[in-house]
């Protein structure tokens, strides 16, 4: 289990896959592999990223190693009847084609045991509304990397409100150009600086009523989750 954890942290995709297969062949519970090795590894990667020890490329490589291992593990989890904890819809807003940060969030949230509907990039407000109606998520994530597309986040939240769906979802926003101040201005529930922040918010949000987080509460929430 420690070896698998280290392979994921190091981003060794091939070794991670081999180790997952070996642990399953040895009779190890898929839930134990997921929780005690794989999720624990991604938690550590998130900590190292937030501490500035590693950077985006290393984090992305580690996340891909985790995803490769998950492809082996998922069928076993399904056999065991392990169901996703809940649904999350994530997409990059209208006019923006950037997806690296969004995809890191997708991987982090998926690997924490949630089903993620990844809408992709350049997603219009109407498509977000349609996805909420279709999938009934409890969290919606909006991503933007360009200052010229930030207003699309505002338009998307307005569209969700006009559709009468705002009270059933919590909305998190993120991206290089997004800030806590902007998040507050457009009425989002949460601003996440990175994928670890986003994953922590999704985990904390499960089963809790929708509320607006202040910057202070956000920081306390992240500290407590660590």
pLDDT in tens, 166-223: 999 999 999 989 999 999 999 999 999 888 889 889 989 886 544 444 443 444 444 4
Segment 29-48 shows an average pLDDT of 87
Last residue of a domain, one of 51, 79, 107: 79
DSSP 126-183: HHHHHHHHHH--SEEEEE--SGGGHHHHHHHHHHHHHTT-GGG-EEEEESTT--HHHH
Same domain, 56 and 106: no
Q: Residue 43: inside a domain, yes or no?
A: yes
> What does the pLDDT read at residue 223?
43
- For 21, the enclosing helix (H) or strand (E) is helix 13-25
Alpha-carbon distance values, 60 to 40, 46, 106 (Å): 16, 11, 12
Burial of 148: CB neighbours in 10 Å, binned 0-12, 13-18, 19+: exposed
- Give the percent of the chain with pLDDT over 90: 56
User: Looking at the structure, do residues 52 and 92 belong to the same domain, yes or no?
Assistant: no
Tell me the per-residue pLDDT of 112-159, one tens digit each, with 9 for 90 and over.
Answer: 888 999 999 999 999 999 999 999 999 999 999 999 999 999 999 999
For residue 207, what pLDDT is reported? Answer: 64
Do 141 and 187 sit in the same domain of this protein? Answer: yes
CB 88 within 8 Å of CB 119: no
- Entry pTM: 0.74
User: Residue 120 and residue 90: Cα distance in Å, rounded?
Assistant: 8
Torsion angle defined by CA atoms of residues 212, 207, 90 and 150, in that order, rounded to the nearest 10 degrees: 0
Tally of domains in the chain: 2
Of 137, 136, 128, the C-alpha closest to 202 is 137
pLDDT at 81: 72
The span from the CA of 114 to the CA of 186, in Å, is 26
Q: Same domain, yes or no, for 200 and 113?
A: yes
Which of 139, 149, 150, 151 shows the shortest CA–CA distance to 198?
139
Which structural domain, as residue segments, surrounds residue 197? 87-220
149 shares a domain with 93: yes
Which two three-digit tokens encode residue 120? 């992709």
In terms of Cβ atoms closer than 10 Å to its own Cβ (0-12, 13-18, 19+), residue 102 is: buried
């Amino acid at each position: 289990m420690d070896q698998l954890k280290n392979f994921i942290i190091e981003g060794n995709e091939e070794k991670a896959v081999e180790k997952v297969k070996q642990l399953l062949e040895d009779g190890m519970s898929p839930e134990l592999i997921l929780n005690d090795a794989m999720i624990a590894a991604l938690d550590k990667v998130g900590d190292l990223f937030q501490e500035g020890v590693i950077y985006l490329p290393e984090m992305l490589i580690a996340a891909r190693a985790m995803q490769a291992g998950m492809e082996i593990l998922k069928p076993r989890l399904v056999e065991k009847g392990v169901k996703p904890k809940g649904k999350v819809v994530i997409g990059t807003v209208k006019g923006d084609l950037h997806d690296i940060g969004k995809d890191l969030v997708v991987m982090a949230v998926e690997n924490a045991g949630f089903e993620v509907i990844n809408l992709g990039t350049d997603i219009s407000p109407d498509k977000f509304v349609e996805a909420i109606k279709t999938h009934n998520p409890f969290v919606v994530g909006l991503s933007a990397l360009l200052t010229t597309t930030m207003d699309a986040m505002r338009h998307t939240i307005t569209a969700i409100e006009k559709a009468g769906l705002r009270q059933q979802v919590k909305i998190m926003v993120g991206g290089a150009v997004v800030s806590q101040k902007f998040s507050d201005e457009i009425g989002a529930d949460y601003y996440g600086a990175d994928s670890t922040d986003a994953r922590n918010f999704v985990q904390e949000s499960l089963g809790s009523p929708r509320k607006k987080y202040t910057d202070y509460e956000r920081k306390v929430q992240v500290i407590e989750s660590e």
